[in-house]
């Protein structure tokens, strides 16, 4: 049976010609070249390849061969890989000595740009790998978001949203790369100041919140400081910094609006809920259930 990875590559192979216009040339027929003479692609956007997926692809190649040729450019010492990193690694794992390849003459700048664009299109990149590749095209090749969106066949807001992932707290980025949260969760957490994202991330993971629930949690946390400031009034003294910190920690831990008010002999904590289900959740959270 053909692996998912091979099917994925074959299905996207025809999209490159629409992305990068080329002068009419003779049909580029694949030729077999030695794997040992292929140097790696210095602009490979994929940070890691899962060993399980690589083993699956290697097993498919051992049985059926390489169904989609790789793309290389010729160098003095051999070849430089432009696209097909997974197929090269899997072929080596399968014990092959040669691999079908299309050899294309490219200037260095064109080669690197093409490598990035084609790999973004062909490879099953995770959201952060894709965002880093977009950033590289912008920083090193002078793309604007509009030009990049047109080249990739995507809407400009899609590119912008992808790039915002690179501004997230490192812990949020790590959770996204590990698959602990989705891209939708990450975008929701991006609505908070960076120094608050990691604490809310822990709540999202612990409670297994949906994207919609995470968005609602972030909305409440963002509204609360503004509401508190409006209640105090312009001339009222600011809330004690430590009290405000405790209030913020409680909002994060409970996932709902929490307010603390002090009096001369103590004070009160107000915890709000918006449904019977939320009341039950808060009860379990505070009491810890009964035996």
Q: Are 70 and 87 in contact (CB under 8 A)?
A: yes
Closest CA to 52 of 8, 83, 93: 93
Tally Cβ neighbours within 10 Å of residue 149.
18
SS3 79: strand
Q: State the burial class of residue 289 (Cβ atoms within 10 Å of its Cβ: 0-12, 13-18, 19+).
A: exposed
Q: Are 75 and 104 in contact (CB under 8 A)?
A: no
Distance CA(291)–CA(267), nearest Å, equals: 31
Q: 15: which 2 tokens?
A: 């999209």
The answer to whether residue 85 is catalytic is yes
Q: 100: which 2 tokens?
A: 């079908």
Q: How is residue 224 annotated by DSSP?
A: H
Distance CA(72)–CA(279), nearest Å, equals: 61
Catalytic, out of 85, 118, 129, 130: 85
C-alpha pair distances (Å), 107 with each of 44, 75, 104, 120, 272? 17, 11, 10, 20, 63
Length of the chain counted residue by residue: 291
CA dihedral 136→139→143→144, nearest 10 degrees, is 110
3-state DSSP helix/strand/coil % of the chain, to nearest 5: 60, 10, 30
Catalytic residues, which ones?
Answer: 85
């Amino acid at each position: 049976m053909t692996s998912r990875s091979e099917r994925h590559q074959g299905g996207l192979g025809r999209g490159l010609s629409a992305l990068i216009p080329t002068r009419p040339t003779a049909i580029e027929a694949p030729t077999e070249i030695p794997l040992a003479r292929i140097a790696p692609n210095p602009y490979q956007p994929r940070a890691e390849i899962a060993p399980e997926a690589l083993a699956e692809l290697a097993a498919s190649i051992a049985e059926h061969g390489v169904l989609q040729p790789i793309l290389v450019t010729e160098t003095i010492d051999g070849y430089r890989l432009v696209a097909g990193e997974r197929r090269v690694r899997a072929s080596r794992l399968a014990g092959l000595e040669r691999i079908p390849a299309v050899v294309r003459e490219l200037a260095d700048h064109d080669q690197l740009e093409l490598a990035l664009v084609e790999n973004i299109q062909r490879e099953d990149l995770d959201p952060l790998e894709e965002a880093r590749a977009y950033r590289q095209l912008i920083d090193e090749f002078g793309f604007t978001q509009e030009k990049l969106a047109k080249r990739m066949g995507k809407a400009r807001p899609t590119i912008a949203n992808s790039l915002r992932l690179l501004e997230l707290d490192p812990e949020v980025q790590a959770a996204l790369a590990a698959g602990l949260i989705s891209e939708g969760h990450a975008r929701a957490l991006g609505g908070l100041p960076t120094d608050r994202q990691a604490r809310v991330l822990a709540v999202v993971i612990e409670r297994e919140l949906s994207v919609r629930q995470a968005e609602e949690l972030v909305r409440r946390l963002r509204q609360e400081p503004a509401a508190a400031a409006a209640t105090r009034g312009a001339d009222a003294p600011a809330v004690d910094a430590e009290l405000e910190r405790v209030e913020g920690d409680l909002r994060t831990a409970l996932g709902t609006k929490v307010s603390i008010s002090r009096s001369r002999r103590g004070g009160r904590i107000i915890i709000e809920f918006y449904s019977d289900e939320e009341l039950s959740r808060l009860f379990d959270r505070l009491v810890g259930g009964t035996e």
